[in-house]
């Protein structure tokens, strides 16, 4: 069942930035992430859904009904911002209860709902604490809890973890995924962090310069980025110039199937984990420039006649590799794009 439908949405600013003809469907219970660089339009889409911006054209339907005429407080949406937006002079209980009081809920209903949502975000017993007594991660959990309490049809999250340190951000992602799984809430999440998008999403919408480049599952976008931009933006990738003719793509002495039926100059994309080491005479000749151990795997920088490449290998596989050593490279999987399609 489609919970949110964005139809031909256009919103342009005087600067010329904004979005054009955005079409997006989010199913009930899905977590969909809008991913892209700063200025690509992802926050514009989110704020328009929430009613904080008025579109120039298009429509927004939630549970089958247009919400364009409704102000933010009347829309069946909840919003979690980058900042926690908690009232510092109110304790946690009153921060959470505020919206429910406006909805004329009884004291016992409010108490029960607050207790339930604090258990959900794993902060039971914090009702009497003030925001200043909580860590950044705890404050962000309270902000998420407050949005949950209003039981929105769609929860909108605008880079909610960007102010947190890396370890806490990782924990909060897991929390959010757990909460989403247990509540079945529909969420639209904005981030410029590709790792965050890959780890929490049911579906990723890659945005660039006000339009959608690709919309698919994290696995699909990682394995088969449809455009050169998506390939550049999702995960680490090596880009090599090659040539295509007939059924083959050529990169120096290596050849690959030309599945895209391209011709002439092409850009060949190779994930670092898809590079295998062989004897120098059996592959693309490369000189090891640097070996860096990054936890359970190692990143090997290689100088080749096709340019500087990076390979990821298990940590145990690099113990005999030295800078200056000459090796051969084979690519187990490549993607090819028109050289001009960036």
pLDDT the model gives residue 140: 82
Residues of the chain under the 70 pLDDT cut: 83-84, 340-342
**Which of 199, 230, 261 corresponds to the end of one domain?**
230
Rounded Cα distance between 53 and 71, Å, is 10
pLDDT the model gives residue 163: 74
Q: Which residue(s) pair with 239 in the sheet?
A: 269
Same domain, 213 and 250: no
Spatial CA neighbour of 86 closest among 31, 41, 147? 147
pLDDT the model gives residue 319: 86
Same domain, 187 and 309: no
Same domain, 78 and 156: yes
For 60-81, give one letter per residue: b (16+ CB within 10 A) or e.
bbbeeeebeeeeeeebbbbbbe
- Contacts of residue 170, defined as CB under 8 A and 6 or more positions apart, other chains included, come to none
Rounded Cα distance between 305 and 282, Å, is 15
Predicted structure pTM score:
0.86
Same domain, 6 and 126: yes
Spatial CA neighbour of 77 closest among 56, 47, 104? 47
pLDDT the model gives residue 103: 77
pLDDT, tens digit, 9 for 90 and up, residues 185-215:
899 999 988 989 999 999 999 999 999 999 9
Find the domain containing 276 and state its range. 236-338
Using the 8-state DSSP alphabet, how is residue 17 labeled?
Answer: -
Same domain, 176 and 259: no
**175-181 long-range contacts, Cβ below 8 Å, gap at least 24?**
175/121, 175/122, 175/141, 176/144, 176/200, 177/31, 179/120, 179/121, 179/144, 179/148, 180/31
Q: Which residue(s) pair with 155 in the sheet?
A: 78, 187
Q: Which residue(s) pair with 242 in the sheet?
A: 266
> Is the CB of residue 168 less than 8 Å from the CB of residue 140?
no
Same domain, 329 and 253: yes
> Is the CB of residue 44 less than 8 Å from the CB of residue 216?
no
Spatial CA neighbour of 25 closest among 49, 3, 10? 3
Same domain, 111 and 186: yes
> Is the CB of residue 281 less than 8 Å from the CB of residue 327?
no
pLDDT the model gives residue 130: 92
Would strands 238-245 and 248-251 be described as parallel, antiparallel, or unpaired?
antiparallel
Same domain, 223 and 319: no
**Which of 230, 251, 279 corresponds to the end of one domain?**
230
CATH code at 113?
A: 3.40.50.300
Number of domains into which the chain is organized: 2
> Is the CB of residue 242 less than 8 Å from the CB of residue 331?
no
Same domain, 186 and 251: no
Same domain, 25 and 54: yes
pLDDT the model gives residue 101: 82
Rounded Cα distance between 123 and 198, Å, is 27
Spatial CA neighbour of 161 closest among 233, 49, 81, 44? 81
Same domain, 308 and 161: no
pLDDT the model gives residue 340: 67
**Which of 213, 230, 247 corresponds to the end of one domain?**
230
pLDDT, tens digit, 9 for 90 and up, residues 229-263:
999 989 899 999 999 998 899 999 899 999 888 99
CATH code at 244?
A: 2.40.50.100
Same domain, 24 and 129: yes
| 150 phi and psi angles, rounded to 5 deg | -80, 0
Query: Which segments of the chain does DSSP mark as H helices, in order?
Result: 42-50, 92-102, 107-120, 136-149, 166-183, 194-200, 218-223, 228-233
């Amino acid at each position: 069942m489609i919970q949110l439908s964005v139809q031909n949405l256009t919103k342009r600013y005087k600067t010329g930035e904004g979005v054009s003809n955005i079409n997006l469907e989010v199913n009930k219970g899905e977590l969909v992430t809008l991913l892209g660089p700063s200025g690509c339009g992802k926050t514009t889409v989110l704020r328009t859904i929430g009613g904080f911006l008025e579109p120039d054209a298009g429509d927004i339907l939630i549970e089958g009904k247009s919400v364009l005429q409704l102000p933010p407080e009347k829309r069946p949406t909840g919003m979690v911002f980058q900042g926690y937006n908690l009232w510092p002079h109110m304790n946690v209980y009153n921060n959470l209860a505020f919206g429910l009081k406006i909805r004329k809920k009884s004291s016992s209903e409010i108490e029960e709902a607050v207790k339930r949502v604090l258990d959900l975000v794993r902060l039971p017993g914090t009702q009497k604490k003030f925001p200043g007594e909580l860590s950044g991660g705890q404050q962000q959990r309270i902000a998420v809890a407050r949005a949950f309490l209003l039981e929105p049809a769609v929860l909108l999250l605008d880079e909610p973890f960007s102010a947190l340190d890396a370890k806490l951000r990782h924990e909060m992602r897991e929390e959010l995924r757990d909460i989403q799984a247990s509540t079945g809430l529909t969420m639209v999440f904005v981030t410029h962090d590709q790792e965050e998008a890959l780890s929490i999403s049911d579906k990723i919408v890659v945005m660039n310069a006000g339009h959608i480049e690709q919309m698919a599952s994290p696995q699909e976008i990682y394995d088969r980025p449809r455009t050169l931009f998506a390939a550049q933006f999702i995960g680490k990738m090596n880009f090599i110039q090659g040539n295509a003719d007939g059924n083959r793509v050529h990169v120096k002495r290596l050849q690959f199937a030309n599945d895209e039926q391209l011709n002439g100059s092409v850009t060949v994309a190779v994930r670092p984990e898809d590079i295998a080491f062989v004897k120098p005479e059996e592959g693309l000749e490369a000189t090891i420039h640097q070996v860096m151990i990054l936890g359970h795997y190692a990143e090997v920088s290689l100088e080749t006649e096709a340019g500087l490449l990076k390979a990821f290998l298990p940590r145990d596989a690099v113990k005999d590799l030295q800078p200056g050593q000459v090796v051969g490279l084979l690519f187990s999987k490549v993607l090819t794009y028109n050289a001009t399609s960036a």
